[in-house]
Amino acid sequence: MARVAVIGEPLRIYGYGLAGAVLCPVTDQGQAALAWRDLPEDVAVAVLTPSAARWLAKEIARRPAVLPVLLPEADAPATAGPAVPG
């Protein structure tokens, strides 16, 4: 069975551990690159914080079997979707 990993700043990712994700807390580019390279073989999806995505820009292509998913910026407003006329 495939698993999900979450890579990024510790305070942004720890909640995903409750759902059983593989947590990879990182605080700089070097740590992010090591986390990406050391992902278990059964990881199919990697959720990345915006910083982690920037740090991993050149690394992502080296693991084409892993789907990267980008989290929104921390200060981005939530959208409720299109308004439905009532």
Q: What is the mean pLDDT of the chain?
A: 91
Cβ-in-10-Å burial (0-12, 13-18, 19+) of 25 comes to middle
Q: 28-51: buried (b, 16+ CB within 10 Å) or exposed (e) per residue?
A: ebeebbebbeebeeebeebbbbbb
Cβ-in-10-Å burial (0-12, 13-18, 19+) of 23 comes to middle
pLDDT of 80 strictly over 80: no
CB 56 within 8 A of CB 34: no
Residues 31-56 have pLDDT tens digits of: 999 999 999 999 999 999 999 999 99
